[in-house]
Chain A
Amino acid sequence: MVSVAARRPRVTGRRYRSVTLGALGLIGFGLVLEVAPRIGVVPIDFAPPTSQILVTLVGQLDDGSFWTALLHTLGTWAGGLAIAVVAGAVIGVLLGSLPILRAATTTTIEFLRPIPSVALIPLVIVLYGPTVRSTLILVVYAAFWQMLIQVVHGVADVDPVALDTARSFRLSPWARVRHVVWPSALPYVMTGLRLAAAVALILTITGELVIGSPGLGKEIDTAQQSNEVRLVYALIVVTGLLGVLINLVVRWGERRLLSWHPANRAEKGAA
């Protein structure tokens, strides 16, 4: 073991190096995808070089229908995520704080959770047709479980000693929730939120692709059907960027809300 004091100054240097290497990696990745179709490793008709995809992408920025589709996707994602998060949090807190309720529902939850959300696709098409509502049901179903499981575990994991201490100091139930239960469940809740946000995006795009509700997924499907290869890839890149963005925002929120948490403090020192 090297002493902590001796390691500290090297941290910034290594940080700098890893950022540089990471940027190099991204550039290299783009270059490979640019060159590979041009020298014929992959068919250029079906896998256009990066530069052409980027040009098509920039061209889309002037297109009103692109922005409408993007807003549709974001709206379905946010709406579905919000419903799932609220429902998951409320039911999760309920199940987590009442052991008997939790015991009675465990098997049912374990049974329902692995049912793939896409199994519902034919059902929602029949019931609601190619509408946002159909996609929303898929999104809520899939994201709900991620949230629920995390919240149940988080609430059940509250330190009993801390809870008893609060009780013997005569903290009111509300104050106990506010100062003991909520902070100790928060890391679990944030993990649930992060997982739910990613799953919600996957199911939003899936619904749009397969069901045909309006949004980026539907645009991708239309472009593929009409053989607009570059547009297909440009829109796929947009969904990827959306994924990165959502991840960054949730991570940022997590760090801000949990800056007091040991895991975050340790990370700062050891990074």
Chain B
Amino acid sequence: MRILWRVVLAVGLPVVLIAAWWFGSAGSTDFYWPSLSTIVDTFGRTWTWEMFQEQVFPSLWRLLAGYFLAVLLGVALGALIGLNRVVRDLLEPVLEFLRAFPPPVLVPAAILLAGIGDRTKILVIVFGCVWPVLLNTIEGVRARDEVLSDTCRTYRITGLLRLRHLVLRAASPQIVTGARQALPLAIILMVISEMMAANEGLGFTVLQFQRGFQIPEMWSGVLLLGLIGIVLSLLFRLAERSLLGWYHGQRAGQREF
């Protein structure tokens, strides 16, 4: 009974909302607001396997390449800066300033510097996503537990071992927070760089539909972008659960006391 109630609570509102959209728009004659059944129908015809290969996969590849490069770079530089106080003092204001830039303004600058190829887009994504990861890593590395640090020192754990088991492990909840903040930024930057400077890709295609007044196709593209966002955030949560299982368990344990 309680499980049933939970299920109702979880799926009730989404079902109601989708049903309201479906039936509310069923007889729609408005050119800009096609019925949901038309959109779903168009979705199947528009986003075929070839379309995915030509337009969607290149976009996703740039997105993931840029995102992972940004995370890697952010963690590496963050550990470096977090471990060294002089470097940290020297760079902190510069980093705060660079972070304050709204990342989309990089697109015009990157077009000037590197044209409109793949490299520009990946560069823009890396430059936009690196800040949350970097700053969170610095904070996480700084805030590592004193007792654990001392224990490491006592046991003469140094170098890579110390980095892997103390520094990065201690910072990992913060690193994951940064990576989570970076994910929607990566999607935004991928779409924008394709809307402003591209002749292929998901953002470009959706904007082409809009310019050609192919309204149901455009709606289906908007839905696809939304679905990609949802799927990526689900994947992220799965990854987080396996990476930070120890941490969440520890927290839950503390709460029980």
Q: A-side interface residues toward B, CB under 8 Å?
A: 1, 17-18, 21-26, 28-29, 42-43, 46-47, 100, 103-108, 111, 113-123, 125-127, 201-202, 204-206, 209-210, 217, 220-221, 223-224, 229, 232-233, 235-236, 239-244, 246-247
Contacts and interface: CB of A to CB of B under 8 A. Distances in A.
A126 B12 CA distance: 32
Interface string B146-186: 10000000000000000000000000000000000000100
Nearest to A120: B222
Interface of B: 6, 9-14, 17, 32, 86, 89-94, 96-109, 111-113, 146, 184, 187-188, 191-192, 195-196, 203, 206-207, 209-210, 213, 215, 218-219, 221-222, 225-226, 228-230, 232-233
B90 A47 contact: no
Contacts of B99: 243
Greatest chain A CB density within 10 A among B13, B91, B106, B187 is at B13
Contacts of B89: 17-18, 21-22, 25
A108 B104 contact: no
Given A122-B221, A217-B105, A239-B105, A42 B94 contact: no
Given A47-B113, A115-B230, A122 B209 contact: yes
Contacts of B203: 118
A107 B14 contact: yes
Contact of B97 (A21, A221, A233, A244): A244
B225 A115 contact: yes
A244 B17 contact: no
Contact of A108 (B13, B32, B221): B13
Please report whether the interface of chain A is mostly helix, strand, loop or mixed according to DSSP.
Answer: helix
Contacts of A239: 101-102, 105
B230 A114 contact: yes
B97 A111 contact: no
Nearest to B13: A108
Contacts of A242: 100
Given A108-B17, A118-B188, A122-B209, A209 B101 contact: no
A156 to B, nearest CB: 14
A206 B32 contact: no
Contacts of A206: 102, 104, 188, 192
B169 to A, nearest CB: 22
B14 A209 contact: no
B101 A119 contact: no
21 contacts: A25-B93, A113-B233, A114-B229, A114-B233, A116-B187, A116-B188, A118-B191, A118-B192, A126-B32, A205-B102, A205-B105, A206-B188, A220-B105, A220-B108, A233-B109, A236-B106, A236-B109, A241-B100, A243-B101, A244-B96, A244-B97
